[in-house]
Homo-oligomer: A and B are copies of this chain.
Amino acid sequence: MTIDSLPQHAPHPFFAVTDDQLMIDDRSIADIARQVGMTPFYVYARTHLRERVEQLRKVLPSEVHLHYAIKANPSPAVVQFLAPLVDGLDVASAREMQVALDAGMAADLISFAGPGKKPEELARAVAAGVTLNVESELELERLAQIARDGGGRARVAIRVNPSFELKTSGMKMGGGPKQFGIDAESVPQVLQRLRDMPLEFVGFHIFSGSQSLRAESIVEAQQKAVAQAIELARATPAPVQMLNIGGGFGIPYFPGEQPLDLAPIGRNLRELVATTRAQLPQAQLMLELGRYIVGEAGLYICRIVDRKVSRGQVFLITDGGLHHHLSASGNFGQVLRKNYPVVIANRVRGAQREVASVVGPLCTPLDLLADKVELARAEVGDLVAVLQSGAYGFTASPLAFLSHPPPGEVLV
């Protein structure tokens, strides 16, 4: 393969290069590595987290609340930094709920979603006063029982498995048979039962998919979500106060992918704000974004431990790998493996270029961070940076695999 024939990644929105060093603000990654005192590590950039939220605020109508779905990156430092910048937090487990509360977010601005919430998780959520996105009739019954047992009156939103899908998304989370939420067509009868339960109905959660890079697909899904909510609102026991229409905003990972165009989404949301105001006057529209907020603001940094040429192919063997960053290895929800964007952090362009594969220390051929990419010619001791690593990195990886130490995690 010649260097010219290699596919290139979309330009990165955040990270700059100064004197051939990959930078966060005015600091080189090599400098940050000295501060961390170890490799590998994840580093998340405050500047870029803030920029991303500001970018969203600029394009989206101010009437739409912006929630951060902390499952994308539940690092307490990141959650604490983002909490005052967003309008609410979405959590997917009792532990995430505690991280959100620890970050100082008001309980009524926290939503707890997820199929299979255990009775003890439900009890904790009710005690905390967060909103429960209810995924089944059994969950409603369990919440009613908690109230009857004196555990408190739950704030409940019905999570709807919509009758449509988010087209061209990385993962479909609604439409067809799903484990998520209550099928739209069953919601009216569930709402009927809810009338007799000691629960506070607050609204709907309609999430149709994630990781879409097509604005028109997101626009269509948001239109359908609002229409579905208006339809279902005819059967609610109380006015809809919150309407979470999900997220689904993707970031470009792979060669050929282009960043999501927010402008049409902003324009469409302005119309949806007007529609909602007319049809559901008490409803607060909200978006739930995880990956889109943190994904591009984080890097995974590892160090080259060995450099090997095997049968003509260059391998840069690093102290990091799939045990720390499963997604970048291509083993998390990808059918065909593709490369995340990768650079040599301390010589981005380099004096010479070469095609190399970046691998980790594990005894498995799956431990591949980059397969035959063009990089600066690198030496032992150099730092490899995997971009687009702020979401679904640290916590989505098998950290105990082969019993290597976990990576560091820092916010700068």
Contacts and interface: CB of A to CB of B under 8 A. Distances in A.
Q: Classify the secondary structure of A's interface with B.
A: loop
Given A99-B403, A115-B317, A317-B115, A335 B335 contact: yes
A207 to B, nearest CB: 8
Interface in A308-324: 308, 310-313, 315, 317-319
Interface stretch (A21-29, A249-257, A325-333, A341-349): A325-333
Given A71-B363, A138-B380, A364-B171, A116 B306 contact: yes
A135 interface: yes
Contacts of A71: 363, 402-403
Contacts of A362: 92, 114
A176 B365 CA distance: 12
A305 interface: yes
A183 B315 CA distance: 13
Interface in A57-87: 71, 74
Contacts of A360: 116
Q: From A305, A319, A333, name the one whose CB has the most chain B CB atoms within 10 angstroms.
A: A305
A404 interface: yes
A311 B400 contact: no
A74 to B, nearest CB: 5
A179 B317 contact: yes
A95 interface: yes
Given A114-B361, A171-B364, A362-B92, A306 B135 contact: yes
A6 interface: no
A307 B138 contact: yes
A333 B329 CA distance: 10
Given A305-B118, A403-B95, A311 B135 contact: no
Interface string A283-323: 00000000000000000000001111011110101110000
A214 interface: no
Contacts of A396: 398, 401
A308 B139 CA distance: 11
Interface in A330-386: 331-333, 335-336, 357, 359-367, 380
Contacts of A319: 116, 118
Nearest to A361: B116
Contacts of A244: none
A180 B357 CA distance: 13
A357 B178 CA distance: 10
Contact of A400 (B176, B336, B395): B395
A180 B363 CA distance: 8
A136 B314 CA distance: 13
A172 interface: yes
A236 interface: no
A117 interface: yes
Given A74-B403, A403-B99, A115 B332 contact: no
Given A331-B332, A333-B366, A396-B398, 11 more contacts: A92-B403, A95-B404, A115-B317, A116-B306, A117-B361, A135-B308, A171-B366, A178-B311, A178-B315, A179-B357, A183-B310
Interface of A: 71, 74, 92-93, 95-96, 99, 113-118, 135-136, 138-139, 161, 171-173, 176-180, 183, 305-308, 310-313, 315, 317-319, 326, 331-333, 335-336, 357, 359-367, 380, 394-405
